[in-house]
Amino acid sequence: MNCHCKIALLLFVGLSVTACNPRPSPVTRVTPATLPPRWTETPSPTEPSPTDTPSATLTPSLEPAGPMIAYFGARAGHSHIFIADLLDGTFTQITTGPADHGTIAWFPDGDRLLYSEYDGSHESMRIVDRAGRNATTLVSGGDQSFVQPSLSPDGSRVAFFSTRDGHWALFLMTSDGKSQHPITGNTVFESVVSWAPDGSAIAFTPWHNTESPPFIGVALRGTDYIELTSNEEGNSDPKWSANGEVIAFRCGVQGVPQVCSIRPDGSDLRQLTRGPGGNLDAVWSPDSQRIAFVSWRDSADPINCQDGDCNYEIYVMDADGSHQSNLTVNSSEDWFPSWSPDGSSIAFVSLRDEPAHPSACGSACNSEIYVMDADGQDVRRITQDPEPSWNPTWRPSAP
């Protein structure tokens, strides 16, 4: 899919594609000052009340379930959330109505989802069960921009970005909508949250001002956070490994996105990928041993490709950047890798069944969800939708 089309599709999941004009080079390492104590919750004296009171229990009870994938599907010009049951092949539309939905996050129990909603005038965060029932609103407002909600690993807290105080800040609340308070001060904009596996810290991407590039920060307590990276071209999209030892992120290298990694204390900064061609959207395997990512290195012209001529492929590599291999090996575009909870499979998005070339179909390119084994074998098409589907997110394994 061309860059413009992909940006449009990924608007609600916080992943924009950097222009396809790569020139790789080393990145700069910055070690932060002495780390403050780990982050702890300090609620503000007053807390806004949620619009609705969330339900404490799910009724009626849900049947046991096996492998499921939640994803976005376009319907009548809006993005909606669907769930595909991989055992029986059924599909459930979770959200409806004239609104756009984003940020799919499963609760650890695998029975509920957190998502954001925008109806053209109001933004909100909501919870719904996997049958599409018992929808409740945690927080809602007019122009307060409740974006990128992210659940803590145990599902007890939600981090999100908002302008409710007149400027962008990272907020925290309990998953019932209470104890809402900022945990960072004023910045121009912040996006993409990744929790430490033990829930003690949050990695995110802030900007200090419109002239400075974004960097990787880690919030530790109160409104304190440390800057892990410094790079004139900016860094973004942090992803914490499941073992808590490393943060992978997108690093700008001479106009091209690459995959880098760093330890949470700011040590051992590594550039894991190099050109020609860009690399981005790093996703850790559940065992923290491998990273799936998207690369356009196999394009006919990986340095100058654009407008639908970049051949996006799903790659995998070891955590140290070694043994990089192409899993999809397809002339069409493949992106959005998502590991299954047991690490045996990877879901992804592809245009391989779109008859038109990406440069021709543009925003009408019909992307579909696929699943393959973790070694790239046994590719199965999951969706058969007349409109685009994207952002597959696996249901967690039953506790």
Q: What is the pLDDT of residue 144?
A: 65
Six-digit token pair at 357? Answer: 């070339």
Q: What is the pLDDT of residue 398?
A: 65
The rounded distance, in Å, linking the Cα atoms of 65 and 297 is 39
Q: Is 94 in contact with 103 (CB distance < 8 Å)? A: no
Mean pLDDT on 224-250: 87
16 pLDDT exceeds 50? Answer: no
Closest by CA position to 280, among listed 160, 376, 192, 162: 192
Buried b (16+ CB within 10 A) or exposed e, 7-31: bebbebbbbebbebebebeebebee
The rounded distance, in Å, linking the Cα atoms of 263 and 203 is 11
Q: What is the pLDDT of residue 143?
A: 64
Six-digit token pair at 45? Answer: 């004296």
Confidence of residue 224 (pLDDT cuts 50, 70, 90): low
Mean pLDDT check: name the lowest of 21-25, 322-326, 339-343: 21-25
Strand 279-284 relative to strand 290-295: parallel, antiparallel, unpaired? antiparallel
Confidence of residue 169 (pLDDT cuts 50, 70, 90): confident
Tens-place pLDDT, residues 273-304: 998 899 999 999 999 999 999 999 999 999 98
Strand 247-253 relative to strand 235-240: parallel, antiparallel, unpaired? antiparallel
Closest by CA position to 31, among listed 263, 208, 319, 320: 263
Closest by CA position to 62, among listed 92, 89, 86: 92
Six-digit token pair at 206? Answer: 């802030």
Q: What is the pLDDT of residue 8?
A: 28
Q: What is the pLDDT of residue 28?
A: 29
388 pLDDT exceeds 80? Answer: yes
Residue 165: CB atoms within 10 Å: 12
The rounded distance, in Å, linking the Cα atoms of 154 and 146 is 21
Which residue in this structure is represented by tokens 């909508």? 177
The shares of helix, strand and coil residues in the chain, as percent rounded to the nearest 5, are 5, 40, 55
Mean pLDDT check: name the lowest of 19-33, 38-52, 334-348, 363-377: 19-33
State percent of the chain over pLDDT 70: 79
Confidence of residue 22 (pLDDT cuts 50, 70, 90): very low
268 pLDDT exceeds 70? Answer: yes
Q: What is the pLDDT of residue 217?
A: 80
Tens-place pLDDT, residues 225-236: 778 887 777 888
Mean pLDDT on 348-360: 90
Q: What is the pLDDT of residue 309?
A: 86
Strand 78-85 relative to strand 190-195: parallel, antiparallel, unpaired? unpaired
Residues 6+ apart with CB under 8 A from 393: 69, 70, 71, 104, 105, 106, 338
Tens-place pLDDT, residues 1-15: 433 233 222 222 333
Mean pLDDT check: name the lowest of 71-85, 151-165, 290-304: 151-165
Q: Is 79 in contact with 58 (CB distance < 8 Å)? A: no
Tens-place pLDDT, residues 187-204: 656 667 899 999 988 988
Closest by CA position to 101, among listed 134, 128, 62: 128
For 13, which DSSP code? G
Mean pLDDT check: name the lowest of 31-40, 124-133, 210-219: 31-40
Confidence of residue 245 (pLDDT cuts 50, 70, 90): very high
Tens-place pLDDT, residues 33-71: 333 333 334 444 334 443 443 433 444 578 888 899 999
Query: Which secondary structure element, helix H or strand E, spans residue 361, and what is its range?
Result: helix 358-361
156 pLDDT exceeds 80? Answer: yes
Average confidence score pLDDT of the chain: 81
The rounded distance, in Å, linking the Cα atoms of 185 and 192 is 16
Phi (first) and psi of residue 362, to 5 degrees: 55, -130
Q: What is the pLDDT of residue 343?
A: 98
For 390, which DSSP code? E
Mean pLDDT on 205-209: 70
